[in-house]
Amino acid sequence: MRLLAAGLTLALLVPAVPAQASYGQPSYDPAASVDPLIGSLRDGTTWPGAVRPFGMISWSPTSTRGDQTSTGAANGYQYDVTRVRGFSLTHLSGAGCNPGAAGDIPILPYVGTVDSSPTADTKDAKYASNFSHANEKAVPGRYTVTLDSGVKTDLAVTTRAGVGEFTFPADQSANLLFRTSNSLNGSEDAEITIDPSGRKVTGSVLTGAFCGRRANGGVNNRKTYYRLYFTASFDQPVVANGTWKNGDLAAGSTHTTGGEGYATGADRAGRGSGGYVTFAPGAKVRMQLGISYVSLAGAEQNLRTEVRRSATVDRIAAEGYAAWRRELQAIDVTGGTDAQRTTFYTALYHVLLQPNIFNDVDGRYLGSDLKIHRLARGQKAQYGTFSGWDQYRAHIQLLALLKPDVAGDFAQSMYQFAQQNKGVWDRWLHNNGPTHVMTGDPAAPTLATFTAMGVRNFDVRGAFESLARQARVQNADAENDGGCLGQCTGQRPALDNYLAKHYAPQDACHCWGGAAETLENSLADYSLAQWGQRLGADVNDLKDRGSWWKNTFDPAVGYQRAKRSDGTWEPGFAPSTQTGFAQGSSATYTWMVPQDVTGLAQAMDGKAVERLDGFFHDEQGNWAVKGGSAVRYDPTNEPGLHAPWLYNGLGVPWKTQATTREIVDTVYGTGPAGLPGNDDLGTLSAWYIFAAIGLFPQTPGRAELLVGSPLFPKVELRRSNGVRITVNAPATTDANQYVQSAQLNGRPRAESWLPESFTTRGGRLDVQLGTAPTTWGTAPVDH
């Protein structure tokens, strides 16, 4: 997802990976292949800091271009911006706007005398430091950098706490600046208290929402804020301290509150509040820190529970690395090159960063109603943050496949947030808060897919009934709030109009784009119908609504097209138009019918294969899969991610094999530019994982898997529920990418898809690959 972007972004060009290594290479430590810096250059918007799998805390640098009102990236870090104004405690991975969200409580180790307010220095000329990537190291669970100021910063974390060690140069004053008001999205209020004799700093920040949209309301204009609390203690004496507020420094002060902090583009630059503590020159300071979204007492308890008083960075980092190694072993690949394994396991690392644990160790969490709640019976964790429009296309399927226990708790978390939000399932949650970003009803296909893939540890019927009600009954709390830049409060805005017309009219849908909304809702309704059938519910209406995509398909032009309330088409059509669509063109969205590939082919008068070929190739027949054209495939954003796999449903699976392998080999790679676009909470990374394995979910709301071209000779998936899935392709090479034949559990498999039982009960797929296309799997299929 790219928010507030003008046009389509060119994909970053990355080199193709080398040829395959020999088959039979033994398994190894997957965490050793992870490079957290992949995707950190511009479009990927990932960050390299210390974090645990699904962790609440993520301790990572916040960059600045030299102007406090520009962080250089949506998530605080951009590889080519090598100036740091602090190390923040929370982050989103791969979100696509600036300002993004989180980046709470940046803490800056500062060398020199603190003699002015950091908020007054709007150019960060003083209270920031350059660094070189030569002095930076990131591994799973640990981040280390030596700044040009001479301070070495070494960070490691648990799930909700962390340990930082700061080694200062000997000849200057040593300080830690707590920039409490400087979250990436700004702040409405902040507080800090310093206890010099107790060697302790505590505080909080009131912030929230997403992409600069902090004033937008949730239900009935309720603001989507959260307050993050922190507690930090030091092993060295504090020799001086002070606070600042809105440009005024108060040396010796131990407490301050208030001070709206800046956000990119905001008019609050130079304002805000915070505090500092000073240590003896040359000090090596160990800081132990805990956070909570519930209370300061919660932060204290999280710290005491997860970090022993004697814990060092080395110890916490070793435990964190071991935790990542265990999680990454959910997929074991054999063979491949070093570059391929680095790309693969870093993608899996990015997938497992979210959802984020949101409850304290005692089970309490902040609800979407801004009240404190406890975990439901049997629930192990409350998870926050859901980039729905993005994640339901690849990420949530991989999460359900690998971690059905986490997926179930995530589903229960979303259901509970919806219950606390007057029944509204928001399409984009930041932590607990609805942000109303994007379009469609992504919670429906998400939970329907979870159920199809065997996830059961949530209130399956209660969640279905709630989402079905949202799809059928206009919720007064889901109306347009008038200030949402085309994106509106809650889900299913103007539902009554949609139900009456069987499409979302461009001039009266209260949505980003009418055609996109129709396509998204059609797919959501289809997935709800699949889910309801499993429960024995009456879903005939939802099943029918799964075909409403046809009502915005204009046969005269052969594309999806925005339609007005009076039934006329939006004028001025071209395949490249984005009118009626959300972050994509008509040329991309026209393919967004994975639930009815045969119907789409019929609508295209039998020319679907020819047209799909043109979507992936230019006029000269050359591959065009790196983005940059509004009429061709865009790997940098989500609406067309499924398109390479449509060939399976059209009876030419060898073209899926060629297309996915081309994308895997040329669009993704190693290094900071290794992701083609915003990772959007692991979505692009999840697509790569599926493509490299050679499997892809056929349709949201179902569990069948399409077969592609496996990149590795052998892959073993170990679902957390004990189910095992194996894909063998011993002959795979850059040349051998076409399926010649396949066996499922030892029996010949003629279809280019695998049944639901393979996903839910496991099994073994053996694929024979060769250099030339074949007729294997050519029978088209829909479900």
> By the 8 A CB rule, do 594 and 642 touch?
yes
Confidence of residue 42 (pLDDT cuts 50, 70, 90): confident
Q: Average pLDDT of 479-483? A: 39
Q: Average pLDDT of 458-477? A: 92
Do 202 and 271 lie in a common domain? yes
Do 286 and 389 lie in a common domain? no
Max alpha carbon distance in the chain (Å)?
79
pLDDT in tens, 679-718: 999 999 999 999 999 999 999 999 999 999 999 999 999 9
Residue closest to 167 by CA, chosen among 28, 81, 280:
280
Do 168 and 302 lie in a common domain? yes
Q: Is residue 520 part of a domain?
A: yes
Q: How far is 274 from 203, CA to CA, in rounded Å? A: 9
Q: Which structure tokens are listed for 210?
A: 């997403």
Domain final residue pick, 549, 574, 603:
549
Do 196 and 74 lie in a common domain? yes
Q: How far is 229 from 217, CA to CA, in rounded Å? A: 23
Do 139 and 48 lie in a common domain? yes
DSSP string, 198-264: TTEEEEEEEEE-STT-TT-BSGGG-B-EEEEEEEEEESS---EEEEEETTEEEET--EEE--PBP-T
Q: How far is 281 from 437, CA to CA, in rounded Å? A: 48
Check which CATH number belongs to the domain holding 521 and give it.
Answer: 1.20.1050.60
Q: Is residue 85 part of a domain?
A: yes
Better pLDDT: 428 or 318: 318
Q: Is residue 357 part of a domain?
A: no
> Environment class of residue 222 by beta-carbon count within 10 Å: exposed (0-12), middle (13-18) or buried (19+)?
middle
The domain tally of the chain equals 3
Task: Give the chain's mean pLDDT.
Answer: 90
Residue 534's SS3 state is helix
pLDDT in tens, 414-462: 999 999 999 999 998 999 988 888 899 999 999 999 999 999 999 999 9
How far, CA to CA in Å, does 576 sit from each of 112, 383, 542?
Answer: 55, 38, 31
Do 504 and 404 lie in a common domain? yes
Beta carbons within 8 Å of 323's beta carbon, 6+ residues apart: 52, 53, 141
Other beta carbons within 10 angstroms of residue 106's beta carbon come to: 26
> By the 8 A CB rule, do 108 and 182 touch?
no
User: Over 70: is that where the pLDDT of 161 sits?
Assistant: yes
Confidence of residue 6 (pLDDT cuts 50, 70, 90): very low
Q: How far is 366 from 343, CA to CA, in rounded Å? A: 36
Q: How far is 117 from 429, CA to CA, in rounded Å? A: 34
Do 193 and 320 lie in a common domain? yes
pLDDT in tens, 612-650: 999 999 999 999 999 999 999 999 999 999 999 999 999
Do 340 and 476 lie in a common domain? no
Do 18 and 91 lie in a common domain? no
What is the percent of the chain where pLDDT is above 70?
Answer: 89
**pLDDT number for residue 123:** 53
Confidence of residue 510 (pLDDT cuts 50, 70, 90): confident
Confidence of residue 166 (pLDDT cuts 50, 70, 90): very high
Other beta carbons within 10 angstroms of residue 236's beta carbon come to: 17
User: Over 70: is that where the pLDDT of 200 sits?
Assistant: yes
Q: Which structure tokens are listed for 347?
A: 């993608």
Do 441 and 498 lie in a common domain? yes
User: Over 70: is that where the pLDDT of 490 sits?
Assistant: no
Q: Average pLDDT of 318-341? A: 97
> Environment class of residue 173 by beta-carbon count within 10 Å: exposed (0-12), middle (13-18) or buried (19+)?
middle
**pLDDT number for residue 221:** 42
Q: Average pLDDT of 178-203? A: 93
Q: Is residue 380 part of a domain?
A: yes
**pLDDT number for residue 437:** 83
Which DSSP state fits 629? -
Do 142 and 289 lie in a common domain? yes
Q: Is residue 366 part of a domain?
A: no
CA distance from start to end of the chain: 28
Domain final residue pick, 523, 549, 575:
549
Check which CATH number belongs to the domain holding 681 and give it.
Answer: 3.30.2080.10
User: For helices 313-328 and 338-351, what crossing angle results, to 10°?
Assistant: 100
User: Over 60: is that where the pLDDT of 483 sits?
Assistant: no
Q: Do the bridges between strand 763-770 and strand 724-728 make them parallel or antiparallel, or are there none, so unpaired?
A: parallel
Q: Is residue 559 part of a domain?
A: no
Q: Average pLDDT of 171-185? A: 92
Q: Is residue 410 part of a domain?
A: yes
Q: Is residue 226 part of a domain?
A: yes
**pLDDT number for residue 270:** 59
Do 220 and 110 lie in a common domain? yes
Q: Do the bridges between strand 200-208 and strand 50-51 make them parallel or antiparallel, or are there none, so unpaired?
A: unpaired
Residue with tokens 């208030």: 258
pLDDT in tens, 219-240: 334 456 899 999 999 999 999 9
Better pLDDT: 261 or 129: 129
Domain limits at 490?
372-549
Q: Average pLDDT of 186-204? A: 94
**pLDDT number for residue 25:** 43
**pLDDT number for residue 186:** 78
**pLDDT number for residue 527:** 98
> By the 8 A CB rule, do 425 and 412 touch?
no
**pLDDT number for residue 485:** 40
Check which CATH number belongs to the domain holding 319 and give it.
Answer: 2.70.98.10
**pLDDT number for residue 482:** 34
User: Over 50: is that where the pLDDT of 266 sits?
Assistant: no
**pLDDT number for residue 612:** 98
Confidence of residue 477 (pLDDT cuts 50, 70, 90): low
Q: How far is 327 from 766, CA to CA, in rounded Å? A: 25
Beta carbons within 8 Å of 619's beta carbon, 6+ residues apart: none
Phi, psi angles (nearest 5°) of residue 446: -65, -55
**pLDDT number for residue 10:** 26
Q: Average pLDDT of 468-488? A: 63
Which DSSP state fits 473? S
Domain final residue pick, 530, 549, 568:
549
pLDDT in tens, 359-417: 999 999 999 999 999 999 999 999 999 999 999 999 999 999 999 999 999 999 999 99
Q: What is the pTM assigned to this prediction?
A: 0.94
